[in-house]
Chains A and B, each alone.
Chain A
């Protein structure tokens, strides 16, 4: 009988490793093929953005006027534009601009939106009313109109376009976080955190914030996609990146005059925008499924 009993010491020595919620989300994300493709596209453009200047076949602004508006060929894979610049090289350089605009503008709106959303959700009352009404007012404008207004106040430049895109996305994140905080605040583990004598600030950062992050990450990924489009739109309108920048939207705008004769000047930057946005959207959808608690058992 004694021989069958498991050795107590063995059990105690072995502290089992268990996957945390993030690891589990990663596991279910990996199973989603479409999302992995999206992540692959995002990874591809990210690498392009990081090492672009070293792999681009031609310089960013090397004008070669005799070779203007050339068709795609073995020398110029994606053709040349109206100043004879290699479009492939410019798209590779543009990846850095578009991705950093997308990424940093979303970081900006997440940080500001989260702070405002948390304050509104956790403290409630009049401060919630004020913040929420400001969000409502901002959301009442079409976002691109608001971005144009912000840029025209600050002056047209890539940096100001980034700020404008960050500003217009603040209410989306603010509302999201606020609603999440409102629901988590009522959870019993928050009451129990209070009952053990925890300070408000600590409850906020150790319990409420980590539990409200999942939808923000999803929304953030999707927002990078729309930020890239918005940056391109502002660039196209001449309110974002300025010549001779290789920002994709700016490239589309430059191609406008010649696109009947030389459609490749417009098609390839357009495809670059589309692919990046598609990649972020697919990845975001996959993350939504992976992080959504309702999808779990």
Chain B
């Protein structure tokens, strides 16, 4: 087995809650709490979860747009979490990001050419002429026309802007692209176009994606492997097909049962989870899902389940599986 392109170990992000005149720290919001995973070269890892589960925070920490509270990020054999800010800035050439809101992520006062040229200028790549040439090449690659270069962002539709966002991420020939909900702001008809573009680019340019989304259908379409997050923790991570065919974690099962099926006669066997997502500033003890879990056991309220391999290549953090389950079942 080859060395993964990106390895994340025990990543944590605690946001302090400050109170009072002296802004004393009165607690922490555990946005991301001990998340570990890896991404192989050339594959797409999907990360799904409800809003506020920490998936975007995780994505931002990988690029150190947010400083992790704890944990290690190893990219291409190089640890990113202990290098200086300036080295990190340079390392961003290899890791790029596509943002959720194509209306907000492009500077309204810059032309498309200026927006796309900027990554090259920042990293000192090429001269003025070759930069302009590359801008036009990439516009064509992402399905726009080179004569669009002199236009401003407000003259494009959402889907076109997202293509520009993707082109910008590709300018420096990165190895890894972190896509933070890249299609959730787009119309459904445009979503598939952008997804297909991303898949084509992956094939042509040997890209690796981390694809963050809340739409399970979208993630299934594009991902090789999928990780499910709940309240700052990775609860299940495995091959995409395995996850969709045989979800193990009760939360994943509930999520998948909520995906609409395009068949009017389909009688769904929906698993309803009760209650709201608990506050990450005061997460439940033990397994954070125990407050809403239909299969809750006594052990769940006290012991935090570890992410363990329940089946080959299928990792899940739940007391129903693994060693402890074997003990209980006996």
Question: Could you list which residues of chain A lie within 8 angstroms of chain B, going by C-beta atoms?
Answer: 11-12, 14-18, 20-21, 187-189, 191-199, 202, 206-207, 210-211
Our pick among A17, A194, A206, A207 for the contact of B65 (Cβ within 8 Å) is: A194
List which B85-104 residues lie within 8 A (CB) of chain A.
89-93, 96-97, 99-101, 104
* Cβ distance B87 to chain A, nearest Cβ, rounded Å: 11
Q: Which residues of A contact B122 (CB under 8 A)?
A: 196-199, 202
Chain B interface, DSSP helix/strand/loop, else mixed = loop
B107, CB-defined interface residue at 8 Å: yes
Query: Are B147 and A12 in contact, with the CB atoms below 8 A?
Result: yes
Q: Contact residue range for chain B?
A: 35 or more
Report Cα–Cα, A188/B108, bound state, in Å.
11
Q: Which residues of B contact A202 (CB under 8 A)?
A: 122
Report Cα–Cα, A197/B97, bound state, in Å.
11
Residue in A closest to B178 when the chains form the complex, CB atoms: A195
Would you list 6 pairs from A and B whose C-beta atoms are within 8 A, ordered by A residue?
A: A11-B145, A12-B145, A20-B109, A197-B123, A199-B122, A202-B122
- A21-B109, A192-B97 as given contacts; A16 in contact with B168, CB under 8 Å: no
- A197-B92, A197-B119, A199-B89 as given contacts; A15 in contact with B149, CB under 8 Å: yes
B118, CB-defined interface residue at 8 Å: yes
* Cβ distance B113 to chain A, nearest Cβ, rounded Å: 9
Query: Are A18 and B90 in contact, with the CB atoms below 8 A?
Result: no
B151, CB-defined interface residue at 8 Å: yes
* Cβ distance B234 to chain A, nearest Cβ, rounded Å: 23
Chain B 160-182, CB within 8 Å of chain A: the 1/0 string? 00000100100110000000000
* Cβ distance A223 to chain B, nearest Cβ, rounded Å: 23
Residue in B closest to A211 when the chains form the complex, CB atoms: B109
Q: Which residues of A contact B123 (CB under 8 A)?
A: 197
Q: Which residues of B contact A193 (CB under 8 A)?
A: 107, 118
Report Cα–Cα, A5/B71, bound state, in Å.
57
Residue in A closest to B123 when the chains form the complex, CB atoms: A197
Q: Which residues of A contact B106 (CB under 8 A)?
A: 189, 192
Q: Which residues of A contact B150 (CB under 8 A)?
A: 15-18
List which B41-81 residues lie within 8 A (CB) of chain A.
60, 63, 65
Report Cα–Cα, A18/B152, bound state, in Å.
8
Chain B 132-160, CB within 8 Å of chain A: the 1/0 string? 00000000000001110111100100000
B270, CB-defined interface residue at 8 Å: no
Report Cα–Cα, A194/B172, bound state, in Å.
14
Residue in A closest to B106 when the chains form the complex, CB atoms: A189
Q: Which residues of A contact B192 (CB under 8 A)?
A: none
Name 8 extra pairs, CB < 8 A, besides A192-B97, A197-B93.
A15-B150, A191-B65, A195-B63, A195-B65, A195-B99, A196-B96, A196-B122, A207-B107
* Cβ distance B231 to chain A, nearest Cβ, rounded Å: 24
Q: Which residues of A contact B171 (CB under 8 A)?
A: 196
Report Cα–Cα, A251/B228, bound state, in Å.
78
